[in-house]
């Protein structure tokens, strides 16, 4: 470019960012030229490298998308892409080489808005950002299934989408099926007691492949059962029953209603109240320790031993259950109420503190049977410390030794000692350096004092074949036998 003789500066325009320019200045007079003065100019670094342009999004799904951009004409050393969830606000940055012009983003949240920012880098310098927002697709609902299907209705269930949606569209159609099969008739409820009922019906003219029987009480969900003998019903409740005969695609149905009778204790707090309701058979019972509005729990009630009404919380009988477990299992409980089980320290605490309780331990081995009864029994909240005393019985007193001891397992001992009793004797128990009783020890093991031990009866070198621990309120008086 040419500059007039009176000028001492010149403006050079349209330089490209990131380039180095050589500048030469020569003075002319006529045909003569001076020696050149030279310098170098590194363009535009104070303003940073040139930013990318044309941000775009493609391949958008519920949890991924691709972002792309147009690279600048000038030289850059790379790009930095930052994306941020509009609600959670935790930015994530990814650094790319100068040759890249797109990036796949994954592990995104369905139905969410993300702000995406892209900058060019040149060494330590960064360009002005370009940014745009994009929303991922909502995720689809899953686990679609049809239940309670009759000849004219069906209930559809599905797992909702994680993303917030405005509505769902349901598209359905029919296929050709059998339309000539009749359903069962004359559904009746007979022998209705406060907790049971017997259902009978006349079968359809064409044999059904099987029956689907559902029942519900007012305000509760429908239950589907494969049999006709209804148990564990709520006393004084109106029930509606629907019977469906299944034959191919055709499912004709009939329905009926019945009302259960009244009990003295419709919501028993323990096994003694269920016994006073007239239930004399041992088995699983739903009780309501906090009353009708509280959370119910299912317990095993011994209705036959020593007047009945016992809530069983431990049983060993065949070695089918592993009792060498950790703290969490012993707190929660494990096993099968009709087989070997431990009811759970938290539930044992709740039951043993709702009233003054007595404890009974039944032991059987090789045709012999003994028991130990304690007039005081409680498991405290803190560390599930045992309070037990007032022995009577035929087994000898091996449990009072453990009075005032905290519960310990192989992975937790709230009162550390030199010896880890739970590890040494392979159980969870109220150990005290270490045991006179070890009813949660190894089944069938007669060595190293690791078996199921009640020292005052069989010593420490014999593992007892059957044990049950159970409690009931101390003020309970068994009703006279009829």
CA of 125: how far to CAs of 19, 45, 114, 122, in Å? 14, 8, 26, 5
Report the number of distinct structural domains present in the chain. 3
pLDDT at 262: 82
In a domain, 405, yes or no: yes
Specify burial of residue 64 (Cβ count, 10 A radius: 0-12, 13-18, 19+): middle
The domain that holds 408 is classified in CATH as 3.90.215.10
In a domain, 312, yes or no: yes
pLDDT at 291: 87
Both 337 and 418 in a single domain? yes
Choose one of 82, 101, 135: the last residue of a domain.
135
C-alpha torsion sign, points 385, 391, 392, 396:
positive
pLDDT at 226: 41
Q: Indicate the average pLDDT of the chain.
A: 86
Q: What is the pLDDT of residues 66-114, one digit of tens each?
A: 999 999 988 999 999 999 998 877 899 999 999 999 999 999 988 889 9
Both 131 and 169 in a single domain? no
pLDDT at 48: 76
In a domain, 14, yes or no: no
Both 258 and 281 in a single domain? no
In a domain, 6, yes or no: no
pLDDT at 328: 96
**What is the maximal distance between C-alpha atoms in the chain?**
140
Report the C-alpha dihedral over residues 147, 149, 153, 157, rounded to 10 degrees. Answer: 10
Q: What is the pLDDT of residues 328-357, one digit of tens each?
A: 999 999 999 999 999 999 999 999 999 999
Identify the three-state secondary structure at position 404.
Answer: coil
- Per-state percent for the chain, helix, strand, coil, to nearest 5: 10, 40, 55
Positions in the chain short of pLDDT 50? 45, 175-181, 224-227
Whole-angstrom distance, CA of residue 239 vs CA of residue 236: 10
pLDDT at 138: 84
pTM for this entry: 0.54
For residue 322, what are the domain limits?
A: 271-473
pLDDT at 18: 62
Both 294 and 362 in a single domain? yes
In a domain, 76, yes or no: yes
pLDDT at 241: 73
The upper half-sphere exposure of residue 60, i.e. CA atoms within 13 Å in the direction of its Cβ, equals 17
Tokens representing residue 385 in the block:
């410390």
C-alpha torsion sign, points 135, 136, 137, 143:
negative
The domain that holds 240 is classified in CATH as 2.60.40.10
Choose one of 104, 135, 166: the last residue of a domain.
135
Nearest CA among 341, 345, 280 for reference residue 312: 341
pLDDT at 304: 95
Q: What is the pLDDT of residues 29-48, one digit of tens each?
A: 888 888 888 887 766 545 67
pLDDT at 177: 44
């Amino acid at each position: 470019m040419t500059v007039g003789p009176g000028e001492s500066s010149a403006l050079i325009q349209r330089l490209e960012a990131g380039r180095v320019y050589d500048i030469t200045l020569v003075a002319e007079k006529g045909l003569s030229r001076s020696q050149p003065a030279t310098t170098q100019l590194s363009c535009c670094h104070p303003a940073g490298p040139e930013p990318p342009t044309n941000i775009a999004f493609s391949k958008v799904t519920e949890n991924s998308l691709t972002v792309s951009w147009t690279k600048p004409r000038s030289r850059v050393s790379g790009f930095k892409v930052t994306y941020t969830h509009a609600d959670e606000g935790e930015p994530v940055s990814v650094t790319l080489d100068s040759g890249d012009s797109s990036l796949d983003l994954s592990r995104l949240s369905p139905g969410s808005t993300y702000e995406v920012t892209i900058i060019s880098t040149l060494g330590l310098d960064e360009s002005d950002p370009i940014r745009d927002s994009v929303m991922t697709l909502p995720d689809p609902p899953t686990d679609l299934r049809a239940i309670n299907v009759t000849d004219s209705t069906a209930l559809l269930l599905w797992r909702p989408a994680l993303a917030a949606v405005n509505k769902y569209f349901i598209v359905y159609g029919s296929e050709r099926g059998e339309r000539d099969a009749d359903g069962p008739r004359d559904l009746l409820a007979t022998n209705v007691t406060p907790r049971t009922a017997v259902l009978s019906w006349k079968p359809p003219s064409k044999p059904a492949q099987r029956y689907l029987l559902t029942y519900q009480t007012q305000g509760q969900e429908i239950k589907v059962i494969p049999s006709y003998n209804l148990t564990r019903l709520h006393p004084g409740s109106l029930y509606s029953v629907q019977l469906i005969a299944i034959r191919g695609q055709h499912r004709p149905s009939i329905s009926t209603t019945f009302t259960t009778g009244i009990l003295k204790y419709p919501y028993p707090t323990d096994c003694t109240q269920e016994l006073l309701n007239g239930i004399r058979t041992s088995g699983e019972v739903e009780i309501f320790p906090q009353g009708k509005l509280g959370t119910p729990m299912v317990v095993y009630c011994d209705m036959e031993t020593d007047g009945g009404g016992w809530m069983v919380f431990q049983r060993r009988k065949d070695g089918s259950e592993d009792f060498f477990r950790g703290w969490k299992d012993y707190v929660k409980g494990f096993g099968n109420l009709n087989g070997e089980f431990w009811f759970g320290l938290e539930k044992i605490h709740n039951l043993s503190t709702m009233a003054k309780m007595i404890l009974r331990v039944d032991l059987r081995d090789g045709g012999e049977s003994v028991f130990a009864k304690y007039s005081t029994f409680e498991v405290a909240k803190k560390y599930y410390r045992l309070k037990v005393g007032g022995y009577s019985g035929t087994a000898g007193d091996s449990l009072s030794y453990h009075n005032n001891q905290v519960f310990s397992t192989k992975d937790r001992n709230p009162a550390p000692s030199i010896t880890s009793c739970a590890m040494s004797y392979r159980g969870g128990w109220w150990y005290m350096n270490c045991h006179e009783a070890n009813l949660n020890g190894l089944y069938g093991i007669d060595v190293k004092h690791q078996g199921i031990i009640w020292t005052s009866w069989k010593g420490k070198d014999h593992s007892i074949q059957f044990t049950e621990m159970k409690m009931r309120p101390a003020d309970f008086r068994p009703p006279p036998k009829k």
